[in-house]
Amino acid sequence: MFRTIAIAVALTASSPAYAWGPIGHRITGAIADENLSGVARANVRILLGVEDLAEAATWPDDMKSDQAEFWQKTASPWHYVTVREGDKYQASDAPPEGDAMTALQRFTAVLRDPTAPIDDKRLALRFVVHIIGDLHQPLHAGDGNDRGGNDFKVTWFGKPTNLHSVWDSALIEQRSLSYSEYADWLSRSIKPEELIAWSDVRPATWLSESIALRKTIYPAEPSISWDYVYRHRAELDGRLKRGGVRIAAYLNWVFESAVPAAEQTTRR
């Protein structure tokens, strides 16, 4: 298991639920797959084999069913950040157990480390893909007051739920599309100039966008349905598109000067 991970810490009551449901994460992974450079694609194939990024994107959430302490405690805080003051994430915002930003930094270092075992790199790659998706879900850049919208109760077309769940999955599932249909639809709408502009590998940029959007998505009334969908559908699609583009851009950057995975394999 990932050797540089800190000793497990207990979960706190403030931990939010998953970001993007399985469909959302697969959408970002599928969009990323289309935009990988040749070098990044080769490294991904070496590490994951036939597993594509759409499949890898859900793996850290899938493993939450594993009862091992790593999955039940250690890795739980790595799916979100809390920004209690201001509109920008600061290093001081990270709790002792870490968060999505600190985990992204550690896993990135593993991917670029020529001495890291292949199994550690495989774990790191899956987490990097997943975390970048998480950071584009606006309620995973919470302010610490309502557990990322989990405590903000709403009714969605008359059904009791919470705002976090609406953005994780309800808005996406409302389209009644498979992840591949949805990803293809979104990919075809990405303009070349948008692809260039969105290929920003700085996590601070992604978080600033999520924080700004998060402040606009809380409804005035708890009963939400078509009006809410109409107001926020384009914003949802935009976060999914940017998340996919940035997963690819980030991996292209990570593997650009890292020792190729194939070369590392031959050293062992």
6-49, pLDDT tens digit by residue?
A: 333 333 333 345 578 999 999 999 999 999 999 999 999 999 99
Confidence of residue 266 (pLDDT cuts 50, 70, 90): very low
3 state DSSP class of 155 = strand
How do 153-156 and 81-82 pair as beta strands? unpaired
Confidence of residue 262 (pLDDT cuts 50, 70, 90): low
pTM of this structure: 0.88
Pair of tokens at residue 106 = 């550690």
Structural domains of the chain, ranges and CATH numbers in brackets: 22-266 (1.10.575.10)
How far apart are alpha carbons 268 and 265 in whole angstroms?
A: 6
How far apart are alpha carbons 168 and 233 in whole angstroms?
A: 13
CA max distance for the chain: 60
Q: State the first-to-last Cα distance of the chain, in angstroms, to the nearest integer.
A: 17
